[in-house]
Amino acid sequence: MAENYNGMAVGIFELDSLAACFVALDAASKAANVKIQNVERNRLGAGACVKMRGSVSDVTAAMDAALKIAEPLTKIFSHTIIASPAHDTEPAMYMTAGK
């Protein structure tokens, strides 16, 4: 059963290396009280996208830790924090790219 993340901030980062994603999400989860919602492989490359959930302050601290450790390891494609996802946005957070 999927966990209910409604009302939680979401942090999303996308890196060019799957291995670096795992290193970054490990740093993120050690830096703050966040839940890793999902890790999704990129369709066109070797990288991945990570979604993590928690309070705004925890997601911010986790994102800072993830990006700091990822920067020397790989290219950071994108990163963002949505403090309060709209109700209609939540279903998209569970979507994955078609294989």
Look at residue 7 in the predicted model and tell me its pLDDT: 82
Closest of 14, 24, 11, 25 to residue 54, by C-alpha: 11
Residue-wise pLDDT for 33-82, tens only, equals 999 999 988 766 778 999 999 999 999 999 999 999 999 999 999 999 99
How many angstroms separate the CA atoms of 51 and 48, rounded?
10
Query: Domain coordinates of the chain in residue numbers?
Result: 9-88
- pTM given for the model: 0.87
DSSP letter (8 states) at residue 88: T
Assess if CATH 3.90.1150.10 describes domain 9-88. no
